Structure 1
Amino acid sequence: MPEFRAIVAEDEALLRQSLVEQLMRAWPGLEILAECEDGAEALDAISEHRPDVAFLDIRMPGLTGLDVAAAAAEASPSTRIVFITAYDQHAIEAFEHGAVDYLLKPVDSERLATTIKRLQAAPANPVDAALIEALAARLRGGGSLSPAEPLTWITASAGRETRLILVDDVAYFRADHKYTVVVTAEGESVIRKPIRDLLQVLDPNVFKQVHRSTIVNLRAVAAIVRDDSGRGSLRLRQRDETLPVSAPFMALFKHM
């Protein structure tokens, strides 16, 4: 049996590979269950595997590491969080007094050894969702999580027609292989940008990922319906269909 079980989430492939290799060298008793390239994949992995520890990059497309950690408090309360960050010393002071740890990029072997000792020595305590929210508020207040200017309009194809669509008019985006379907009250169009890339240019306060393949405009949502299994669905204002919300993502709506 492995000593500890973990997932690693980092959207930069080389950095992710480097951290995995460092962990394997420094912690032979660690089993890495999943290597994730974005927040949605990380949240799914945490919900499925319920690992002992999750190494989460803070800044990832769509769901940030902070979003994932907040949802993990419900999806897998015993999973301990280690944030991976490129923020400066002033920003990471936010972590000093909480029940989480952090690693600065590039990850230093001595600092990683310290983190491993902390994880091995400390008992598993539930993730404190309030702490995660406080960290997010502090980092956003300091501008560390401020996104670039969000996308305001897109050009999309519908048959032989090219449409100019205001992003505010989009009800939701749905992944379709290498393409993305853009759904508005008037109908559907297609863009070549995949969901993962789209997440980096949408306003995260308005557009939320509710499934591995779906991003919804919160302004287009009329109601959130929860069932006994923990899953849910979104009823839209100007569309007849409902959108499924996978169980791990429902935690993101608990305050709504």
Structure 2
Amino acid sequence: MLNIAIIEDEQPALEKLLSQLGRVVQHKVLFTCDTVTGCLASSQLSKVDVIFVDINLPDASGMSLVATLKSSGFKGECIFSTAYSEFAVEAFTIGAADYLLKPYTDDRLSLALSRVNEKRNNKASELQEAEEQTLVSKVGDKVTLVKVSDICAIKLEHGQAIAYGTNASNPLDQSLDELMTLLPPHFLRIHRNCIANIKAVKHMDRWITGGYLIKFNQSEVQAISSRNGGRLLKDKLML
């Protein structure tokens, strides 16, 4: 079942889409609204699998909404539903799953949703590959393969990157900049001296520097974010 949100300011168009969705897919509509502001303020955004967006909205362009969602770490797929054909190239450039020109048939809507499922399946495969990824740790003649999925944080200590996991810490040869090009998207640079696995975050407490003191699941290690790193972390976690 797909969790769906619809951003549409024309009631007839909204009602038609709701009717069509009922005929082509098992779904749950988490929310509908008619403005960009209303969408971004929704507490349900993090649960959305597919969001349908009109381009011509009262307070801003639907294009700007999708760009904002993508940049803030929104994990769902976006489908434009619009009467304007001229924005199609831009829509796909910013990562839309499909671009529906009104009026569209049930078959065309079904095709769009099949493309969503394809993208979701590809993401799942990429995530599984990322979780199985390993980094090499060398200490003298000893070589240890460190599973990326076991890492909660990587901290720069005395010029050396140290990967902290559930039961161990392992030195890495790469710089933090190099590691950021290797790690999956749920690893975030929260400080010039620290990378955090946002999936492993347990608690975030305000710190005196303006950032956050971060505690992780299944590990005693802690990390302190910069002020900007804290904002990035909150955006990624949609807090």
TM-score range, shorter chain: 0.3 to 0.5
Whose relative contact order is higher, 1 or 2, with alpha carbons under 8 Å and at least 6 apart?
Answer: 1
Work out which of the two has the higher radius of gyration on C-alpha atoms and give 1 or 2. Answer: 2
Task: Give me the TM-score of the superposition, normalised by structure 2.
Answer: 0.47
Task: Give me the TM-score of the superposition, normalised by structure 1.
Answer: 0.44
